[in-house]
Amino acid sequence: MLVQPAEPFGGLPLPDGVRCLSIRSTVGELTALCSPAATTRWGVAAEPRGTVLLVPGLGGSKEDFLPLMPLLSDLGWDTWSFSQRGQADSVAPRSSLSYRLDDFASDVVEVAHVISDGPVHLLGHSFGGLVARAAVLRSPDLFSDLTFLCSGPKCWTEEIREMALVVRESGSLGLWEASNPDLVGPGAPQLTPQEEFLRYRAGQTSSDGLLGIINVLVNAPDTTADLVRAGVRALVTHGAADDAWPQPWQELMARALGARYEIIPGAGHLPPEENPGDTAALLDDFWGETEELAAAAAAAAAAARPRNAVFAI
Protein backbone atom coordinates (compact mmCIF):
# COMPACT_ATOMS: atom_id res chain seq x y z
CA MET A 1 0.00 0.00 0.00
CA LEU A 2 1.18 3.52 -0.77
CA VAL A 3 -0.47 5.05 2.33
CA GLN A 4 -0.29 3.49 5.80
CA PRO A 5 -1.04 4.64 9.37
CA ALA A 6 1.87 6.24 11.22
CA GLU A 7 2.62 7.46 14.73
CA PRO A 8 2.26 11.18 15.54
CA PHE A 9 5.58 13.00 15.61
CA GLY A 10 7.06 14.67 18.66
CA GLY A 11 4.21 14.01 21.05
CA LEU A 12 1.95 16.75 19.68
CA PRO A 13 -1.73 15.94 20.22
CA LEU A 14 -3.71 15.72 17.00
CA PRO A 15 -7.05 17.51 16.66
CA ASP A 16 -10.13 15.33 16.27
CA GLY A 17 -10.38 13.92 12.77
CA VAL A 18 -6.72 14.47 11.85
CA ARG A 19 -4.78 11.29 11.05
CA CYS A 20 -1.04 10.71 10.81
CA LEU A 21 -0.03 8.66 7.77
CA SER A 22 3.04 7.53 5.87
CA ILE A 23 3.22 7.82 2.09
CA ARG A 24 5.56 5.52 0.21
CA SER A 25 7.46 7.48 -2.44
CA THR A 26 10.48 6.99 -4.67
CA VAL A 27 12.79 8.54 -2.07
CA GLY A 28 11.24 6.61 0.83
CA GLU A 29 8.58 7.18 3.48
CA LEU A 30 7.16 10.71 3.66
CA THR A 31 4.98 11.34 6.70
CA ALA A 32 1.70 13.18 6.27
CA LEU A 33 -1.32 14.50 8.10
CA CYS A 34 -4.80 14.11 6.65
CA SER A 35 -7.97 15.86 7.75
CA PRO A 36 -10.84 14.54 5.59
CA ALA A 37 -13.60 16.89 4.52
CA ALA A 38 -16.61 17.04 6.79
CA THR A 39 -19.42 14.85 5.48
CA THR A 40 -22.03 17.37 6.58
CA ARG A 41 -22.03 21.14 6.31
CA TRP A 42 -24.74 23.31 7.84
CA GLY A 43 -26.59 20.13 8.78
CA VAL A 44 -26.78 18.82 5.22
CA ALA A 45 -24.90 15.84 3.74
CA ALA A 46 -22.14 17.10 1.47
CA GLU A 47 -19.39 15.84 -0.82
CA PRO A 48 -15.77 17.06 -0.55
CA ARG A 49 -15.22 20.28 -2.47
CA GLY A 50 -11.68 19.37 -3.47
CA THR A 51 -8.29 18.18 -2.25
CA VAL A 52 -5.70 20.47 -0.70
CA LEU A 53 -1.95 19.84 -0.25
CA LEU A 54 0.07 22.04 2.14
CA VAL A 55 3.88 22.14 1.82
CA PRO A 56 6.01 23.40 4.76
CA GLY A 57 9.09 25.59 4.62
CA LEU A 58 12.69 25.64 5.87
CA GLY A 59 13.03 23.89 9.22
CA GLY A 60 9.31 23.15 9.27
CA SER A 61 7.15 20.06 9.04
CA LYS A 62 3.59 18.93 8.42
CA GLU A 63 2.68 19.94 11.98
CA ASP A 64 3.00 23.64 11.07
CA PHE A 65 -0.50 23.41 9.60
CA LEU A 66 -2.23 21.60 12.49
CA PRO A 67 -4.30 24.59 13.70
CA LEU A 68 -5.48 25.25 10.13
CA MET A 69 -6.33 21.78 8.89
CA PRO A 70 -9.54 21.08 10.86
CA LEU A 71 -10.91 24.49 9.84
CA LEU A 72 -10.36 23.67 6.17
CA SER A 73 -11.89 20.21 6.48
CA ASP A 74 -14.94 21.71 8.22
CA LEU A 75 -15.33 23.92 5.14
CA GLY A 76 -15.40 20.86 2.91
CA TRP A 77 -11.80 20.39 1.81
CA ASP A 78 -9.89 17.09 1.99
CA THR A 79 -6.78 18.56 3.59
CA TRP A 80 -3.28 17.07 3.52
CA SER A 81 0.11 18.27 4.68
CA PHE A 82 3.39 16.38 4.55
CA SER A 83 6.91 16.71 5.87
CA GLN A 84 9.35 17.09 3.02
CA ARG A 85 12.40 14.85 2.72
CA GLY A 86 14.78 15.56 5.59
CA GLN A 87 12.08 17.15 7.76
CA ALA A 88 10.91 15.73 11.10
CA ASP A 89 10.16 12.01 10.71
CA SER A 90 10.19 11.83 6.90
CA VAL A 91 12.95 9.96 5.11
CA ALA A 92 16.28 11.80 5.23
CA PRO A 93 18.74 10.83 2.48
CA ARG A 94 22.39 11.38 3.29
CA SER A 95 24.26 14.03 1.29
CA SER A 96 23.01 17.50 0.47
CA LEU A 97 23.05 16.41 -3.20
CA SER A 98 19.77 14.59 -2.47
CA TYR A 99 18.08 17.90 -1.65
CA ARG A 100 17.87 19.74 -4.96
CA LEU A 101 14.84 21.76 -5.97
CA ASP A 102 13.90 19.12 -8.55
CA ASP A 103 14.00 16.45 -5.83
CA PHE A 104 11.62 18.36 -3.59
CA ALA A 105 9.30 19.16 -6.50
CA SER A 106 9.26 15.52 -7.59
CA ASP A 107 8.13 14.51 -4.09
CA VAL A 108 5.23 16.99 -4.23
CA VAL A 109 4.13 15.61 -7.60
CA GLU A 110 4.26 12.04 -6.28
CA VAL A 111 2.28 12.92 -3.17
CA ALA A 112 -0.34 14.78 -5.21
CA HIS A 113 -0.84 11.70 -7.39
CA VAL A 114 -1.34 9.55 -4.30
CA ILE A 115 -3.84 11.73 -2.43
CA SER A 116 -6.20 12.59 -5.28
CA ASP A 117 -7.49 11.31 -8.60
CA GLY A 118 -8.03 14.86 -9.82
CA PRO A 119 -6.31 18.25 -9.68
CA VAL A 120 -5.06 19.41 -6.28
CA HIS A 121 -5.10 22.86 -4.69
CA LEU A 122 -1.42 23.40 -3.80
CA LEU A 123 -0.05 25.71 -1.10
CA GLY A 124 3.61 26.30 -0.31
CA HIS A 125 4.77 28.12 2.82
CA SER A 126 8.03 30.11 2.60
CA PHE A 127 10.64 27.75 1.06
CA GLY A 128 7.71 25.44 0.35
CA GLY A 129 6.48 28.10 -2.09
CA LEU A 130 9.58 27.63 -4.24
CA VAL A 131 9.02 23.87 -4.15
CA ALA A 132 5.32 24.22 -4.98
CA ARG A 133 6.10 26.52 -7.90
CA ALA A 134 8.64 24.02 -9.28
CA ALA A 135 6.07 21.22 -8.91
CA VAL A 136 3.47 23.23 -10.84
CA LEU A 137 5.96 23.96 -13.62
CA ARG A 138 6.77 20.26 -13.79
CA SER A 139 3.12 19.08 -13.91
CA PRO A 140 0.75 22.03 -14.38
CA ASP A 141 -2.28 19.87 -15.18
CA LEU A 142 -1.97 18.18 -11.79
CA PHE A 143 -2.80 21.34 -9.85
CA SER A 144 -5.97 23.43 -9.75
CA ASP A 145 -4.16 26.49 -8.47
CA LEU A 146 -1.14 27.61 -6.46
CA THR A 147 -0.97 29.60 -3.23
CA PHE A 148 2.24 31.30 -2.13
CA LEU A 149 2.06 31.75 1.66
CA CYS A 150 4.77 34.08 2.96
CA SER A 151 6.93 33.20 -0.03
CA GLY A 152 8.56 35.22 -2.76
CA PRO A 153 10.05 34.88 -6.24
CA LYS A 154 13.62 34.55 -5.02
CA CYS A 155 15.61 34.65 -1.81
CA TRP A 156 17.97 37.08 -0.20
CA THR A 157 21.39 35.48 0.23
CA GLU A 158 23.55 36.99 2.99
CA GLU A 159 21.47 35.90 5.99
CA ILE A 160 20.89 32.50 4.41
CA ARG A 161 24.63 31.96 3.93
CA GLU A 162 25.15 32.77 7.61
CA MET A 163 22.62 30.07 8.47
CA ALA A 164 24.65 27.58 6.44
CA LEU A 165 27.73 28.35 8.53
CA VAL A 166 25.81 27.62 11.74
CA VAL A 167 24.44 24.34 10.38
CA ARG A 168 27.89 23.19 9.26
CA GLU A 169 29.36 23.97 12.68
CA SER A 170 26.52 22.97 15.01
CA GLY A 171 23.96 20.99 13.02
CA SER A 172 20.24 21.54 12.81
CA LEU A 173 19.79 21.76 16.58
CA GLY A 174 22.54 24.36 16.71
CA LEU A 175 20.58 26.49 14.25
CA TRP A 176 17.52 26.36 16.51
CA GLU A 177 19.60 27.30 19.54
CA ALA A 178 21.23 30.19 17.66
CA SER A 179 17.76 31.42 16.68
CA ASN A 180 16.46 31.12 20.26
CA PRO A 181 19.31 32.27 22.53
CA ASP A 182 16.93 33.16 25.39
CA LEU A 183 15.79 29.54 25.61
CA VAL A 184 19.19 27.88 26.01
CA GLY A 185 22.01 28.00 28.51
CA PRO A 186 22.15 28.67 32.25
CA GLY A 187 19.17 30.57 33.60
CA ALA A 188 16.96 29.78 30.61
CA PRO A 189 13.27 29.35 31.44
CA GLN A 190 11.57 25.97 31.28
CA LEU A 191 10.40 25.32 27.75
CA THR A 192 6.71 25.31 26.97
CA PRO A 193 5.29 22.17 25.31
CA GLN A 194 5.37 23.97 21.95
CA GLU A 195 8.99 25.03 22.47
CA GLU A 196 9.88 21.48 23.51
CA PHE A 197 8.36 20.23 20.27
CA LEU A 198 10.23 22.78 18.15
CA ARG A 199 13.52 21.92 19.84
CA TYR A 200 12.92 18.20 19.37
CA ARG A 201 11.98 18.74 15.72
CA ALA A 202 15.14 20.74 15.14
CA GLY A 203 17.19 17.86 16.48
CA GLN A 204 15.42 15.42 14.15
CA THR A 205 15.79 17.63 11.09
CA SER A 206 18.48 16.55 8.63
CA SER A 207 21.49 18.87 8.57
CA ASP A 208 22.17 17.71 5.01
CA GLY A 209 18.58 18.63 4.21
CA LEU A 210 18.96 22.11 5.67
CA LEU A 211 22.17 22.69 3.72
CA GLY A 212 20.46 21.50 0.55
CA ILE A 213 17.52 23.83 1.16
CA ILE A 214 19.84 26.75 1.83
CA ASN A 215 21.61 26.03 -1.44
CA VAL A 216 18.25 26.08 -3.23
CA LEU A 217 17.31 29.37 -1.59
CA VAL A 218 20.60 30.97 -2.62
CA ASN A 219 20.57 29.72 -6.21
CA ALA A 220 16.95 29.18 -7.29
CA PRO A 221 16.10 31.38 -10.30
CA ASP A 222 13.04 33.59 -10.45
CA THR A 223 10.65 31.57 -12.62
CA THR A 224 7.68 33.91 -12.34
CA ALA A 225 7.52 34.34 -16.13
CA ASP A 226 7.43 30.55 -16.58
CA LEU A 227 4.55 30.33 -14.13
CA VAL A 228 2.62 32.96 -16.08
CA ARG A 229 3.04 30.87 -19.23
CA ALA A 230 1.85 27.76 -17.37
CA GLY A 231 -1.49 29.51 -16.85
CA VAL A 232 -2.14 28.18 -13.34
CA ARG A 233 -4.28 30.46 -11.18
CA ALA A 234 -2.38 31.86 -8.18
CA LEU A 235 -2.82 33.58 -4.83
CA VAL A 236 -0.01 35.45 -3.06
CA THR A 237 -0.62 36.09 0.63
CA HIS A 238 1.31 36.76 3.81
CA GLY A 239 0.85 37.95 7.37
CA ALA A 240 0.70 41.70 7.97
CA ALA A 241 3.84 41.41 10.11
CA ASP A 242 5.74 38.90 7.94
CA ASP A 243 9.40 39.78 8.40
CA ALA A 244 10.99 36.79 6.66
CA TRP A 245 10.33 37.30 2.95
CA PRO A 246 10.34 41.00 1.96
CA GLN A 247 6.72 42.01 1.57
CA PRO A 248 7.35 44.29 -1.45
CA TRP A 249 8.82 41.30 -3.31
CA GLN A 250 5.68 39.30 -2.61
CA GLU A 251 3.41 42.08 -3.84
CA LEU A 252 5.48 42.58 -7.00
CA MET A 253 5.36 38.85 -7.70
CA ALA A 254 1.58 38.91 -7.39
CA ARG A 255 1.37 41.75 -9.89
CA ALA A 256 3.68 39.97 -12.33
CA LEU A 257 1.54 36.83 -12.06
CA GLY A 258 -1.72 38.72 -12.35
CA ALA A 259 -2.52 36.96 -9.10
CA ARG A 260 -4.79 37.82 -6.23
CA TYR A 261 -2.81 39.47 -3.41
CA GLU A 262 -4.04 39.41 0.19
CA ILE A 263 -2.58 40.40 3.58
CA ILE A 264 -3.65 38.34 6.60
CA PRO A 265 -4.19 40.51 9.70
CA GLY A 266 -2.87 39.49 13.10
CA ALA A 267 -0.18 37.27 11.65
CA GLY A 268 3.50 37.33 10.79
CA HIS A 269 5.40 34.59 8.98
CA LEU A 270 3.21 31.75 10.31
CA PRO A 271 -0.44 32.59 9.57
CA PRO A 272 -1.65 28.96 10.00
CA GLU A 273 -0.60 29.18 13.65
CA GLU A 274 -1.02 32.90 14.34
CA ASN A 275 -4.40 33.49 12.69
CA PRO A 276 -5.80 30.20 11.40
CA GLY A 277 -9.37 31.51 11.21
CA ASP A 278 -8.72 34.33 8.74
CA THR A 279 -6.23 32.15 6.85
CA ALA A 280 -8.84 29.40 6.41
CA ALA A 281 -11.49 31.90 5.29
CA LEU A 282 -9.16 33.39 2.67
CA LEU A 283 -8.10 30.01 1.30
CA ASP A 284 -11.68 28.77 1.24
CA ASP A 285 -12.73 31.79 -0.79
CA PHE A 286 -9.84 31.43 -3.26
CA TRP A 287 -10.24 27.69 -3.75
CA GLY A 288 -13.99 28.08 -4.03
CA GLU A 289 -13.50 30.59 -6.84
CA THR A 290 -11.23 28.13 -8.63
CA GLU A 291 -13.81 25.36 -8.36
CA GLU A 292 -16.55 27.67 -9.67
CA LEU A 293 -14.40 28.74 -12.62
CA ALA A 294 -13.58 25.12 -13.44
CA ALA A 295 -17.26 24.15 -13.30
CA ALA A 296 -18.22 27.06 -15.55
CA ALA A 297 -15.50 26.16 -18.05
CA ALA A 298 -16.63 22.53 -18.11
CA ALA A 299 -20.24 23.58 -18.68
CA ALA A 300 -19.24 25.92 -21.51
CA ALA A 301 -17.16 23.20 -23.15
CA ALA A 302 -20.04 20.75 -22.92
CA ALA A 303 -22.45 23.26 -24.44
CA ALA A 304 -20.06 23.92 -27.32
CA ARG A 305 -19.82 20.27 -28.33
CA PRO A 306 -21.84 19.45 -31.47
CA ARG A 307 -24.79 17.22 -30.73
CA ASN A 308 -25.10 13.95 -32.61
CA ALA A 309 -27.57 14.33 -35.42
CA VAL A 310 -30.42 11.79 -35.56
CA PHE A 311 -31.33 10.59 -39.04
CA ALA A 312 -34.63 8.94 -39.86
CA ILE A 313 -34.36 5.95 -42.14
Question: pLDDT tens digit string along 48-91?
Answer: 999 999 999 999 999 999 999 999 999 999 999 999 999 999 99
Residue 305 lies in a domain: no
Residue 141 lies in a domain: yes
pLDDT tens digits for range 278-301: 999 999 999 999 999 999 988 988
> DSSP secondary structure string, 41-82?
ETTEE----EEEEEE--TT--GGGGTTTHHHHHHTTEEEEEE
Residue 199 lies in a domain: no
Residue 229 lies in a domain: yes
Residue 37 lies in a domain: yes
Residue 150 lies in a domain: yes
Residue 205 lies in a domain: no
Residue 64 lies in a domain: yes
Q: How many CB atoms lie within 10 A of CB 294?
A: 16
Domain containing 114 equals 3-155+222-299
Number of H helices, E strands in the chain: 10, 11
> For residue 14, what is the domain's CATH number?
3.40.50.1820
Rounded to whole angstroms, the Cα distance separating 285 from 260 reads 11
Kindly report whether the global pTM for this prediction surpasses the value 0.85. Answer: yes
- For 31, how many CA atoms within 13 A lie in the half-sphere containing its CB? 19
Identify the pLDDT of residue 41. Answer: 64
Name the domain count of the chain. Answer: 1
Q: What is the DSSP letter of 138?
A: H
Q: How many CB atoms lie within 10 A of CB 273?
A: 17
For residue 265, give the amino acid letter.
P
Spans of the chain below 50 pLDDT = 311-313
